[in-house]
């Protein structure tokens, strides 16, 4: 596997953000990978997920949102977040023009990607992958955050922990059912929103990540 390349791109005319590009020799897809609200692209989960995907022929472009680049805690405005998603997709296409794209991310990064795709097509993107779609705030079950998904005309893969407090499966399963053939839901037993599993599960977090990467690889093959 080749090393990780450090890149940067303009998220908006006055904001430049960093990115990390990892491409295995046998790459078949490039995943544009947005981070969650509380941790940036170098978080252990992001790095480990990218490595597991690379082992299965999926390159990744991890990128920062502007607030994280500036080391601020409060996320950017929705318009800035969506503009960054679009800019990241463009940067990925320029970096590896020979690879078809997948896009999405961890929690907020995935949701912002789906919102961008609902507003207008993301050029070159063939499917969306969500590592823990944040359907609602913790302890406040609702489905409003999923309303826009019916406007997304791309295949979507939902990877969710059974104990995810930000996605009650009693609500998420019907959401996916309404999306029909465009949605696939994979639930990891005992996992939380960060895909951490307790010792009693008999599994490690690394084993869970390997499972998730395998599901993404299998799903991507069916995209053609």
E strands, the chain, are 4-12, 15-22, 29-34, 58-63, 101-106, 125-131, 156-161, 183-188
Give exposure, 103-118, as e/b (b: 16+ Cβ within 10 Å): bbbbbbbbbbbbbbbb
Domains and CATH numbers, the chain: 4-221 (3.40.50.1820)
Find the farthest-apart pair of alpha carbons in the chain and give their distance in angstroms, rounded. Answer: 50
pLDDT tens for the chain, 224 residues long, are: 458 999 999 998 889 999 999 999 999 999 999 999 999 999 999 999 999 999 999 999 999 999 999 999 999 999 999 999 999 999 999 999 999 999 999 999 999 999 999 999 999 999 999 999 999 999 899 999 999 999 999 999 999 999 999 999 999 999 999 999 999 999 999 999 999 999 999 999 999 999 999 999 999 999 97
Residue 105 near residue 43 (C-beta atoms within 8 A): no
For the question of whether the overall pTM of this predicted structure is more than 0.85, the answer is yes
């Amino acid at each position: 596997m080749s090393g990780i390349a450090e890149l940067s791109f303009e998220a908006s005319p006055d904001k430049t953000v960093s990115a990390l590009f990892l491409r295995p020799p046998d790459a078949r897809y490039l995943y544009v990978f947005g981070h969650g609200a509380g941790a940036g692209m170098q978080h252990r989960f992001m790095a480990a997920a990218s490595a597991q995907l690379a082992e299965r022929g999926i390159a990744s472009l991890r990128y920062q949102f502007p607030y994280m680049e500036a080391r601020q805690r409060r996320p950017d405005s929705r318009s800035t977040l969506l503009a960054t998603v679009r800019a990241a997709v463009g940067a990925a296409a320029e970096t590896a023009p020979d690879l078809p794209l997948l896009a999405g991310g961890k929690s907020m990064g995935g949701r912002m990607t789906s919102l961008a795709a609902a507003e207008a097509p993301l050029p070159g993107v063939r499917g969306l992958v969500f590592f823990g779609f944040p359907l609602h705030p913790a302890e406040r079950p609702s489905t409003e955050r999923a309303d826009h998904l019916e406007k997304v005309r791309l295949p979507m893969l939902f990877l969710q922990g059974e104990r995810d407090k930000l996605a009650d499966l009693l609500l998420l399963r019907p959401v996916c059912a309404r999306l029909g053939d465009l949605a696939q839901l994979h639930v990891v037993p005992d996992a939380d929103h960060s895909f951490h599993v307790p010792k009693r599960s008999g599994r490690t977090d690394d084993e869970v990540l390997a499972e998730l990467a395998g599901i993404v690889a299998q799903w991507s093959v069916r995209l053609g």
